Amino acid sequence: MNPLIAPSFLSADFANLRQDVEMINNSKADWFHLDVMDGVFVPNISFGTPVIQAIKKHAKKPLDVHLMIVNPDNFLQMFKDAGADNLSVHYETCTHLHRTIHAIKDLKMKAGIAINPHTPVNVLQAIISEIDLVCMMSVNPGFGGQKFIESTYNKIQHLMQLIKEKKSKAKIEIDGGVNLKNAPLLVKNGADILVAGSTVFASDNPVQTIALLKKCKRRKIL
C-alpha cells in the first residue's frame, strides 16, 4: 500500500500561490496540508481562513487543515466555511476533546487529533475509534524545515498497536522533517500519510519528488 502525500503549504511560495496550487493539482499528491498557527500555542504565526479560501478556489484535491491554535472550538465553523475537508486539532489544546471531535464530524469534515512529540499515544485510548486520523508531529510544532525526531518510528508502532486493539480505522499522518531518506522507513513502520513541506517545495523538481514519496510501500503484515 502506498501512502497519501500531503505537501505542506507552509513551505510554499506565497508570492506565487496559484502556481504552487496548480503544481499540486497536476502531481501525484493526494491532499493539500495547511498549517494554521496562532502565535500562542506555537511560537509562530502562519495564515488563516483568507489564504485557505484562496487555495480552495483552485484546489482539485482535499484540504487537510491542521490547527495549531488555542480554543479551536471557536473556529470550527469558520474553517469548514473556508473549505477544509479534514480538520485536525491538538490534543494539548482541547479540554473537552470528545466534544470537539464530534463537533467537527457534525460539520461533515474528517476529524483528526494532532499530538506533539512529547505526548504519548496512550492518551488517545478513549477516542481513537472515533477519529479519522492521528497527525503525529515528528518535530516540535511551529516552524518548517526542522530536523526529524528519530523516536517517531517507535511511536508509530505503538500507535499501530492501539489502533489494532481498539479496531479503529484511524490513519497515521506524519508531520515534520519528512524527506526522501526517511519516508520509506516511516511507511514501512506504519505511516499512512506523509506531510512534506520543504522536501517538496525546495526541490528542483517538486512533481518528481512527490512521485518518489508516493512510491514508498508498506511492508506486508503476516
Active site residue 106: no
Q: Is residue 68 situated within a structural domain? A: yes
Q: Is residue 16 situated within a structural domain? A: yes
Q: Whose CA is closest to 27, among 6, 43, 13, 41?
A: 6
Of 20, 30, 132, 175, the catalytic one is 175
Q: Is residue 161 situated within a structural domain? A: yes
Is the pLDDT at 221 greater than 70? The verdict is: no
Q: Is residue 222 situated within a structural domain? A: no
Q: Is residue 220 situated within a structural domain? A: no
CATH number at residue 119: 3.20.20.70
Is the pLDDT at 145 greater than 70? The verdict is: no
pLDDT in tens, 107-140: 999 999 999 999 999 999 999 999 999 999 999 8
pTM value surpassing 0.85:
yes
Q: Is residue 221 situated within a structural domain? A: no
Q: Is residue 219 situated within a structural domain? A: no
Number of domains in the chain: 1
Active site residue 204: no
Task: Report pLDDT for 220.
Answer: 54
- pLDDT grade for 146, boundaries at 50, 70 and 90: confident
The answer to which of 81-90, 199-208, 213-222 has the lowest mean pLDDT is 213-222
Q: Which domain holds residue 95?
A: 4-214
pLDDT in tens, 184-204: 999 999 999 999 999 999 999
Of 35, 38, 64, 132, the catalytic one is 35
